[in-house]
């Protein structure tokens, strides 16, 4: 068995959640790593779309920013940002939105706006960007986040984008017709919403991780599914492709113009 | 009607104290040189609009040019926080900063509504989250045909839009290729505009793409040739994004003293020609 880090396990587990025929709106950072790993392994025909307007893009290195030239050069076509949000996202043409966040709660609502009160922020975060409408316009949402008590919280300081709101049918009651978060992939486990309560529930635990570890890095009482699987370990090929991608990316981002 | 100007003249004539200004660019073609000229000319009390305020807005805020920022994502992409933005918001340095915060979809729709001469933008959004609680300009509107509840916000109508493009011709027709962002909409939504370009050419090439975005000359105010003027952002076909500088900015901007020292050496004591050394053609295939 190959050695790997919890972060590699998270990225690989997230990549496995994607299929060859998926049409995916990709956030920068961890979501982008997972989506491109999927494309470079089991899902070569996956459609990746970045909010800078690049449709069906196949970057050789991971972008540092959402509108890097690499994304445009490797895209089938590039549309303007208003067209991106109106015709493609709002128009319902995207199946999966892949998001990260600074804080998440048990119903997978996300905060990327502020820690502390909005008017007197303890930490001002970048803000919502595309997330508020990605969260409601994409067919379903995958979320990738590293677990800690600071980020997995009982109550969000600010709801930037909704998940399952207060659970149950509260999302549908707002008039939202899309599914919302169907997968939460962390460095410790894979979570899915309970079909009734919509509370995010651990369905698969990564190898070597204990239930206690998951509870210790979560700010609410964790629900475990009746049958919890063990996530298969990364294959040698998954690790090789991911590490190559990250090494290429690091080299590219360190070059001075 | 487009006028070929110097950068100092264009900014002096188009940007006034207290104006609402949109320096747009979505990772690509961010008008850094024009932003530096605003700082050199010491503009004050500006309301600045931008979907993705990054380094140039951090600099404008840190140098005390900005009273209010309207935005949807304010960070150093892939790197972290904008330290000058945070210092203004969290500590009121160098002055208090008012913010009006939106989502990307809202901002893009508001520019498009402004370009279309409409009073407001209507879209399906802002459902369930907290932004409407902190931004009183986010309202709901009912579709008169279906009864669906939609979001509405006022159209963006800036006093002046400032963008960077690859090329203009001598009449002032402007061409943009690659990631387009909201620049065309921002210029059409604004009363005045300044467009800096990598080069002014005799004739814009039509062969490569008949539909490369062109702002016709009568929709553009000032056109200024500033080679390298988007650096450390990029100009597709000319020079790549300098990701390394974006990473370095994290250290430069973290403390007030190091920020001010950098601004003095690299902005206040320099002119637009300082951008020359970043200008280059990536490949000569376009002509």
- State the complex-level ipTM: 0.95
CATH of the domain at A171: 3.40.1080.10
**Nearest-by-Cβ selection for A256 from B78, B101, B244:** B244
pLDDT tens digits for range B184-224: 999 999 999 999 999 999 988 765 567 777 899 999 999 99
Q: Average pLDDT, stretch B51-77?
A: 97
Where would I find the H helices in chain B? 7-14, 32-40, 55-62, 83-91, 104-115, 131-134, 183-189, 243-254, 256-263
Which residues of chain A have a CB within 8 Å of the CB of B111?
82
Q: Which of B128, B149, B150, B166 to mutate to test the interface with A (most CBs of A within 10 A)?
A: B128
In total, the C-beta contacts within 8 angstroms joining chain A to chain B are 194
**Nearest-by-Cβ selection for A72 from B105, B148, B178:** B178
Quote the pLDDT of residue B205.
Answer: 75
For B3-102+157-200+209-271, the fitting CATH number among 3.20.20.30, 2.60.40.10, 3.30.360.10, 3.40.1080.10 is 3.40.1080.10
* Catalytic one of A8, A51, A70, A199: A51
Quote the pLDDT of residue B285.
Answer: 41
Quote the pLDDT of residue A257.
Answer: 43
Quote the pLDDT of residue B286.
Answer: 42
Which residues of chain A have a CB within 8 Å of the CB of B27?
52, 65-68
Tokens at B198, concatenated? 């990598």
Q: Average pLDDT, stretch B252-269?
A: 98
B99 Cβ under 8 Å from any chain A Cβ: no
- Looking at the domain assignment, is residue A141 inside a domain? yes
Q: Is the pLDDT assigned to residue B41 strictly greater than 60? A: yes
**Nearest-by-Cβ selection for A160 from B28, B129, B213:** B129
Mean pLDDT of successive 10-residue stretches along chain A, which has 257 residues: 88 98 93 96 97 94 88 94 98 96 97 95 94 98 97 98 98 97 98 98 98 98 98 97 95 72
Question: For residues B10, B15, B17 and B21, what is the CA-based torsion angle, rounded to 10 degrees?
Answer: -150
With contact defined as beta carbons under 8 Å apart, do A139 and A184 qualify?
no
Which residues of chain B have a CB within 8 Å of the CB of A164?
none
With contact defined as beta carbons under 8 Å apart, do B69 and B48 qualify?
yes
B159 Cβ under 8 Å from any chain A Cβ: no
B52·A129 Cβ contact <8 A: yes
Return phi, psi of residue B48, to 5°.
-110, 135
CA dist., res. B157 & res. B107, Å (int): 12
With contact defined as beta carbons under 8 Å apart, do B89 and B160 qualify?
no
- Looking at the domain assignment, is residue A1 inside a domain? no
Percent of chain B exceeding pLDDT 70 equals 97
Quote the pLDDT of residue A65.
Answer: 86
Range of the domain at A156: 6-254
Longest pairwise C-alpha distance within chain A: 54
Q: Tell me the pLDDT band of B282, cut-offs 50, 70 and 90.
A: low
Q: Average pLDDT, stretch B248-273?
A: 97
Which residues of chain A have a CB within 8 Å of the CB of B241?
64-65, 68-69, 257
A137 Cβ under 8 Å from any chain B Cβ: yes
Tokens at A35, concatenated? 């989506």
A124·B85 Cβ contact <8 A: yes
> C-alpha angle B41/B71/B271, rounded to 5°?
25
- Sequence length of chain A is 257
With contact defined as beta carbons under 8 Å apart, do B55 and B49 qualify?
no
Quote the pLDDT of residue B287.
Answer: 39
Percent of chain B exceeding pLDDT 90 equals 91
Residue in A closest to B52 by C-alpha = A129
User: How many domains is chain A partitioned into structurally?
Assistant: 1
pLDDT tens digits for range B82-111: 999 999 998 999 999 999 999 999 999 999
B128·A52 Cβ contact <8 A: no
- Whether omega before B208 lies within 30 degrees of 0, making that bond cis, reads no
In terms of phi and psi (left: phi > 0; alpha: psi -120 to 50; beta: otherwise), the region of A108 is left
CA dist., res. B265 & res. B251, Å (int): 16
A138 Cβ under 8 Å from any chain B Cβ: no
Range(s) of chain B covered by CATH 3.40.1080.10 = 3-102+157-200+209-271
Q: Average pLDDT, stretch B248-261?
A: 98
A51 is catalytic: yes
Q: Average pLDDT, stretch B138-151?
A: 97
């Amino acid at each position: 068995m190959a050695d790997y880090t919890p972060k590699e396990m998270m990225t690989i587990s997230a990549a496995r959640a994607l299929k060859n025929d998926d049409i995916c709106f990709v956030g920068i950072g961890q979501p982008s790593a997972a989506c491109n790993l999927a494309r470079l392994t089991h899902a070569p025909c996956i459609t990746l779309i970045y909010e800078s307007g690049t449709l069906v893009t196949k970057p050789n290195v991971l972008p540092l920013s959402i509108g890097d030239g690499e994304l445009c050069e490797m895209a089938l076509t590039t549309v303007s940002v208003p067209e991106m949000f109106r015709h493609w996202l709002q128009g319902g043409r995207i199946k999966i939105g892949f998001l990260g966040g600074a804080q998440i709660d048990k119903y997978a609502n996300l905060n990327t706006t502020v820690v502390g009160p909005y008017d007197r922020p303890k930490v001002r975060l970048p803000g919502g960007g595309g997330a508020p409408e990605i969260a409601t316009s994409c067919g379903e949402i995958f979320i990738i986040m590293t677990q800690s008590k600071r980020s997995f919280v009982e109550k969000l300081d600010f709801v930037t984008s909704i998940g399952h709101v207060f659970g149950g049918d509260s999302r549908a009651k707002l008039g939202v017709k899309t599914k919302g978060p169907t997968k939460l992939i962390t460095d410790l486990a894979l979570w899915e919403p309970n079909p009734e309560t919509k509370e995010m529930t651990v369905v698969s635990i990564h190898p070597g991780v204990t239930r206690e570890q998951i509870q210790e890095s979560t700010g609410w009482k964790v629900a475990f599914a009746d049958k919890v699987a063990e996530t298969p370990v990364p294959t040698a090929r998954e690790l090789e492709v991911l590490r190559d991608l990250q090494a290429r990316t690091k080299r590219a981002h360190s070059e001075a113009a | 009607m487009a006028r070929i100007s110097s950068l100092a003249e264009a900014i002096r004539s188009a940007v006034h104290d207290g104006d609402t200004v949109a320096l747009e660019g979505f990772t690509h073609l961010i008008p850094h040189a024009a932003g530096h000229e605003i700082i050199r000319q010491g503009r004050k009390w500006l309301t600045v609009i931008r979907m993705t305020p990054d380094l140039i807005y951090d600099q404008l805020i840190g140098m005390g040019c900005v009273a209010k920022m309207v935005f949807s994502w304010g960070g150093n992409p892939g790197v972290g926080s904008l330290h000058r933005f945070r210092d203004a918001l969290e500590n009121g340095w160098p002055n208090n900063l008012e913010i009006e915060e939106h989502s990307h979809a809202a901002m893009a729709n508001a520019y498009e509504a402004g370009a279309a001469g409409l009073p407001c933008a209507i879209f399906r959004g802002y459902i369930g989250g907290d932004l409407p609680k902190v931004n009183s300009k986010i309202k709901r509107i009912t579709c008169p045909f279906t009864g669906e509840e939609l979001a509405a916000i006022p159209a963006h109508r800036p006093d002046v839009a400032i963008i960077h493009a690859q090329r203009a011709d001598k009449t002032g027709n402007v061409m943009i290729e690659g990631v387009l962002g909201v620049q065309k909409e921002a210029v059409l939504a604004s009363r005045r505009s300044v467009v800096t370009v990598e080069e002014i050419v005799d004739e814009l090439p039509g062969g490569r793409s008949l539909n490369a975005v062109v702002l016709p000359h009568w929709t553009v105010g000032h056109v200024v040739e500033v080679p390298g003027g988007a650096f450390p952002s990029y100009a597709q076909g000319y020079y790549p994004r300098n990701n390394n500088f974006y990473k370095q900015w994290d250290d430069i901007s973290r403390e007030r003293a190091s920020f001010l020292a950098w601004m003095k050496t690299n902005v206040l004591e320099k002119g637009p020609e300082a951008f020359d050394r970043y200008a280059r053609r990536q490949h000569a295939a376009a002509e």
